[in-house]
Structure 1
């Protein structure tokens, strides 16, 4: 099953499927507010355009059996944090429960450490997103702490659980 999961650069032809998958309130409820909702083809077009000009590449399509199933990215930090990146990801609802996030996190973590020379990758997870916490832990990410009442989403204040993984090299 794992061999059916890959990360690849985004293509212009991903636009329609990306818009369809991302236009889902259940996904948006676990993302930062700069991701628009509703999410349309114009949003997908802009996102793909920005991802395609990244240097180095940090944003990838997650493909399951050759089909776009989600997005994963590393956001390289600036200044004294330049050897760290924040990981972000989501899987389209039709693909939930297939181990896709677990494998995609494994792939992008290796990419970040091996190709981008990162020393640390971290993730912030909303307190109610237990599935995301589990896939990070499956990939050797450790819980670093809980930022109390740090998130304001959907008119509610909640905690952010922070996870990290260090480059063993």
Structure 2
């Protein structure tokens, strides 16, 4: 499958909203909005993302279909990557290909990532892209309704 990135279009948002309400994906991601089904909050969140000059937000395409999103956000020196891939495409290398494409586009380093410690698949994606575990933390995970262990990963100097 040919994986590519492009800027986010208005027509992508309904797909992102559907993807971000998948119960299994929410559990795995863990650190999600308190109420992912709140459409107004979702729309406001994406409006802020798309209006910010500090955010590089991209739609992940696979053979032209919207498969998810990937982004870099945050202040210089503290910028983080994030990605979300539709569960139907998990285990097919899509997340790795999308993150590699995003990292090729955004050359600043260091970059950081955060992942639930038990999210082995996302941890593999990050490690394949050169991220290394640099810290452990605990934080409240809304999708699980509990505090869980989180790994912080770093790419670059």
Return the TM-score normalized by structure 1. 0.80
Query: 16-25 or 90-99: which moved more?
Result: 16-25
Name the counterpart of 1:38. 37
1:69-148 pair list within 5 angstroms: 69-77=67-75, 82-113=76-107, 118-147=108-137
Question: Residues 110 and 151 from structure 1, CA distance in 2 versus in 1: closer, same or farther, beyond 3 angstroms?
Answer: same
Q: RMSD of the TM alignment (CA)?
A: 2.1
C-alpha contact 2:67 2:85 (8 A) present in aligned 1: yes
Gaps of 5+ in 2: none
Q: Higher RCO, 1 or 2 (CA under 8 Å, sep at least 6)? A: 2
CA distances 1:119-159 after superposition (whole Å, capped 9, x unpaired): 20111111111100000111111111222xx1222232221
Q: Which has the larger radius of gyration?
A: 1
TM-score (norm 2): 0.85
